Structure 1
Amino acid sequence: MTPISLNDLFLQETLRDPIAFYGRLREQEVLSHFTTGETGVWIIATTYAESIELLKDARLINDRSRIAVPGTPPPVVGRALAAFSQNLLGVDPPDHTRLRKLVSKAFTPHMIEQLRPRIQQITDELLDAVQETGTMDLIADFAFPLPLTVIAEMLGIPISERQQFRAWTQALLASLTSPQHEEAGVAAAEAFISSINTLLASKRRHPGADLTSDLLRAEEQGDMLSENELITMIWQLVVGGHETTVNLLGDGMLALLQHPEQMSLLQHNPDLLSSTVEELLRHTAPVLFAAVRWASEDIPLHGQVIRKGEMVRISLCAANTDPQQFSDPTVLDITRQVNQHLAFGRGIHYCLGAPLARLEGQIALGTLLRRFPHLHLACQPEQLEWNPFPYLRGLKALPVQF
């Protein structure tokens, strides 16, 4: 197999068919090494079992500051995201334990289930707005506003700010792909931080029944939440609370449209919604890689050595299509019962928002197919474009008719 380059990760061909790309890596080139700046980067596309071992490996840490030379900016992550490095995915215990505890109660299955009526209401309102037109961009008109509205309401973010948060998120993600986007990413980060500071000041004056106010109350009660941690936490909840679910809904609906027999099966058997969402999470790879890890010591692996200080990215797509774990892994099967996929990661950094993403996926897809039973693509599949983000997989637009 011809060695891959870092740019290969966000080619349209790769994003269009990640199962084939990462499947080839898993079978032929488990470890791919690149050099970015002064730091080595390892892409690991391995088996399901070994992926779990690596996700739990104490030698692979999330907090680069524990091994970095002071003052060195994080490579690849870039200047734009450096201000948000103290997020849940960028720290290790005990800080991770402390920070996660502060927000975990809001994301328990029980608490998330209480959001069902409101998520259903938002879903219906979005579909009401386009019903008479007979067409929509499923991303801009539905997959994006639904999860963003939900997480914004949970955080107490004013309606006027929500659209701008999406633009800032996109600019920050784009800054990961090339230096030409870095300045726009830095500007977006500064604007994002300014907006969050305004939100925090408002909630300090007028606290409400929202997660931001809860975090501020925790701060007042001495839970050691620094100002930077507050800002970073809200940023991560905004980004993590909508960006990946946008991809789940967009990628998932495209997969169903391209597999009409599966879509028909779901329409006639709505009790399959839960297993459908799990299969779409596994098969469509809305998140291609686990969070960044850093080698805290030299780690021998598959005849090579990951050096201390090097970045490690573990392919969730490769793990989730491992034939040793999943029967017919390249096949989309919404009736699949044995489906312990790794789309939300594994270990202490397992996705906090998993219950929310699952519920949003079930309500959104179920309602969409019930209300628009003749939904179909309004373009040729080859005309669709993917956002060139190497670690997430999401469509720029998904035009549909109904």
Structure 2
Amino acid sequence: MTSVEDPAAAAERCTPEFRRNPYPVYGHLRDTAPVCPLNPPHGISTYLITRYEDARTALAEPRLSKDMYGALDSYRRIFGDSSVALDDHMLNSDPPKHTRLRRLVSSQFTPHRVESLRPHIRQIVTGLLDDCPVGEPVDLLTAFAFPLPIIVICELLGVPPEDRPKVQTWSITVAQTGFSKESKQAQQRAEEALHAYFAELVEQKRQRPSDDLLSAMIAARDEDGRLTEHELISTAFLLMFAGHKTNAYLIGNAVHHLLTHPDQLRAVREDPELVPRAVEEVLRYDGSVETATFRYATEDVEIAGTTIPRGALVQIALNSANRDPLKFDAPDTFDVRRPANTQSAHLGFGHGIHYCLGAALARLETRLALTGLLERFPRITPADPAREPQWLVVPFPAFRGLAELPVVLEPPAP
């Protein structure tokens, strides 16, 4: 691993060594530079926040804007012009625009509405597990963790089954973009393809509406004028993108940490009522959203004695905050029996007005995924216990997830 003697450099490089275990670096930063200036590859002044209380404050600080159109020059330098066409949505906006956009889709993600999906999601889980090979190595990410949330969010949006593989492929390309010329070109092609796809799908739904979220958003756009065409396409992309990648990696992280902590896996097997707490502990211990999406300072902002200058970008390390010993006892211990009120304090879904809209859905999908998996294959084991896990190497980093999860699935002993 990169030495924690230079933790800021380690966090900037996002090397495989750092990705394998970033937590010693985060711990060093919490102790020595909790609001740390970085020199990332995009060359724009950036500050990384790593302590829990500072992170919680920053997530709700209105002077740290999410309106990336207000920081458009910086935004274009990082993501390129093609990203702007897909990013006019609630995640990149402040009130009152954020309030308007979030209200238009929030009714689809209430706890009651999400709970009504339980039987159907359980059915999808069962079908995916039916198709998994038994007694031989299988990549659980490819066979199970990714298909489950992509099916659910595409059904909610109204994306036809035959289109889901290409939409997922384009999304993966966007999510894993680096800073090389070839990578940026691939990103641009994928973003242009996604924009063209959703623009065409919107037109199809406009002509033949159905009982799905995209049709409902089109009605809001055409009847009430509460949504521009640009916002409509961007919101469809956001819901599809955020609705499957983070959930897929969360499922993968949950299975990985249960397999690598046999005592915790045993506890969950013996008491399935622990599954919800196990999911919350994964969100705290090693969540799939490592850092919140960019904010930028609209004026000088002081946090923990450090002045973040106007115009600087801000990254909030959620996974570091969730390992802060000032907030959590024994934070580097994975404990599915951790008190529920302590677990629920995590920032895995953010905080404030940008708290994850799909949190209830992510929780339900992950709980049903773990429950179904352990009921069907209680003797699940790593395919190669001696092999180092392969973690994603992503540029910022935004996601925390495995590149693959090879396991062997075995049914209950006869």
**TM-score using structure 1 length:** 0.95
CA distance in 2, matches of 1:229, 1:329: 40
Q: Deviations over 1:52-82 (max 9, x none)?
A: 111111110001323556xx65332334422
Instruction: Determine helix, strand or coil for the equivalent of 1:130.
Output: coil
Mapping of 1:289-304 within 5 angstroms?
289-304=291-306
CA distance in 2, matches of 1:21, 1:179: 29
CA distance in 2, matches of 1:17, 1:6: 11
Mapping of 1:98-117 within 5 angstroms?
98-117=100-119
Give the direction of change, closer, same or farther, for the CA distance of 1:271–1:351 in structure 2 (3 Å limit): same
Q: Deviation at 1:6?
A: 6.9
2:162 aligned partner: 160
Instruction: Determine helix, strand or coil for the equivalent of 1:326.
Output: coil
Question: Structure 1 residue 395 and structure 2 residue 399: aligned?
Answer: no
Question: Structure 1 residue 334 and structure 2 residue 336: aligned?
Answer: yes
1:24 aligned partner: 28
59-68 or 48-57, which deviates more:
59-68
1:281 aligned partner: 283
CA distance in 2, matches of 1:112, 1:37: 39
Question: Structure 1 residue 370 and structure 2 residue 372: aligned?
Answer: no
Q: Deviations over 1:273-295 (max 9, x none)?
A: 11111001111121101121100
CA distance in 2, matches of 1:66, 1:204: 31
Identity %: 37
Q: What amino acid is aligned across from residue 58 of structure 1 in structure 2?
A: P
Q: What amino acid is aligned across from residue 223 of structure 2 in structure 1?
A: Q
Q: Deviation at 1:159?
A: 0.7
CA distance in 1, matches of 2:286, 2:142: 19
Q: What amino acid is aligned across from residue 21 of structure 1 in structure 2?
A: V
Give the direction of change, closer, same or farther, for the CA distance of 1:257–1:67 in structure 2 (3 Å limit): closer
CA distance in 1, matches of 2:60, 2:127: 42
Q: What amino acid is aligned across from residue 392 of structure 1 in structure 2?
A: F
- 1:6 and 1:34 in contact (8 A); partners too: no
CA distance in 1, matches of 2:338, 2:75: 44
Mapping of 1:82-161 within 5 angstroms?
82-132=84-134, 134-161=136-163
Mapping of 1:172-191 within 5 angstroms?
172-191=174-193
Q: Deviation at 1:50?
A: 1.7
CA distance in 1, matches of 2:134, 2:333: 35
Give the direction of change, closer, same or farther, for the CA distance of 1:17–1:67 in structure 2 (3 Å limit): closer
Question: Structure 1 residue 345 and structure 2 residue 350: aligned?
Answer: yes
Q: Give the number of equivalent residue pairs.
A: 399
Ranges in structure 2 where 5+ consecutive residues have no aligned partner = 410-414
Instruction: Determine helix, strand or coil for the equivalent of 2:76.
Output: coil
Q: What amino acid is aligned across from residue 214 of structure 1 in structure 2?
A: A
Q: What amino acid is aligned across from residue 290 of structure 2 in structure 1?
A: L
Q: What amino acid is aligned across from residue 362 of structure 1 in structure 2?
A: R
Q: Deviation at 1:298?
A: 1.6
Q: Deviation at 1:378?
A: 0.6
Ranges in structure 1 where 5+ consecutive residues have no aligned partner = none
Q: Deviation at 1:49?
A: 1.5
Q: Deviation at 1:2?
A: 1.7
1:359 aligned partner: 364
2:233 aligned partner: 231
Q: What amino acid is aligned across from residue 280 of structure 2 in structure 1?
A: E
1:10 aligned partner: 14
CA distance in 1, matches of 2:328, 2:49: 19
Which of the numbers 57, 63, 69 marks the counterpart of 2:67?
63
What CA RMSD, in Å, does the superposition of the two structures yield over aligned residues?
1.8
CA distance in 1, matches of 2:177, 2:408: 33
Q: What amino acid is aligned across from residue 361 of structure 1 in structure 2?
A: T
181-190 or 223-232, which deviates more:
223-232
